[in-house]
């Protein structure tokens, strides 16, 4: 999640907010990724130039932190590391690190996010293992919304 978060930085997570409201594009969340995320597995064979459209059947016991870039029913492709949601490029992402031509920085073939799933991307777009590789995550895998940093003291703040 660099440059938004540094490696080793600690966050506070609201575990209750999504009992009352739906996750939104732009939220930084902590979640259990699909099983196989640590070995770059997609739930189905993906086509070249396409993000992973379906996760594996079960979730990992690891915790990941990423940003929601698309939600249920959205169509998504990726151009220069920026999500293209329902045909509109999200270019107002001043918080991301440039893509630098990494493999998954351009995924021109659209996918549709399944019902009750969210597509996650790290802010370090050229060096992030995220939903582009292992697919969207089901809402049931979301632990909560990160809302503040508390460690190290020099980086205390609101996300």
Q: Which domains does the chain have, with CATH numbers?
A: 10-158 (2.10.109.10)
What φ, ψ does residue 43 adopt, rounded to 5°? -70, -25
Give the pLDDT of residue 30: 98
| Whole-number Cα distances in Å, 96 to 20, 106, 107 | 29, 15, 17
Give the pLDDT of residue 133: 93
Instruction: Give the C-alpha separation, 108 to 127, whole Å.
Output: 19
Let me know: does 110 contact 76? Beta carbons within 8 Å: yes
Give the pLDDT of residue 51: 93
Question: Could you list the pLDDT tens digit for every one of the 159 residues in the chain?
Answer: 999 999 999 999 999 999 999 999 999 999 999 998 888 889 998 888 999 999 998 999 999 999 999 999 999 999 989 999 999 999 888 888 878 777 778 899 999 999 999 999 999 998 899 999 999 999 999 999 999 999 999 999 999
Give the pLDDT of residue 19: 96
Model confidence, pTM? 0.93
């Amino acid at each position: 999640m660099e440059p938004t978060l540094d490696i080793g930085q600690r966050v506070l997570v609201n575990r209750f907010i999504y009992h009352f409201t739906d996750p939104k594009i732009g939220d930084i969340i902590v979640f259990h990724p699909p099983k196989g995320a640590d070995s770059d597995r997609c739930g189905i064979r993906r086509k070249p130039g396409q993000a992973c459209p379906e996760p594996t059947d079960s979730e990992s016991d690891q915790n990941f932190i990423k940003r929601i870039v698309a939600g249920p029913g959205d169509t998504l492709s990726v151009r220069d590391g920026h999500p293209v949601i329902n045909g509109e490029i999200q270019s107002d992402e001043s918080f991301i690190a440039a893509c630098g031509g990494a493999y998954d920085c351009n995924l021109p073939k659209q996918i549709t996010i399944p019902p009750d799933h969210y597509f996650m991307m790290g802010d370090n777009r050229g060096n992030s293992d995220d939903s582009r590789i292992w697919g969207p995550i089901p809402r049931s895998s979301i632990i909560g919304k990160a809302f503040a940093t508390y460690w190290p003291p020099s980086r205390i703040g609101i996300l």
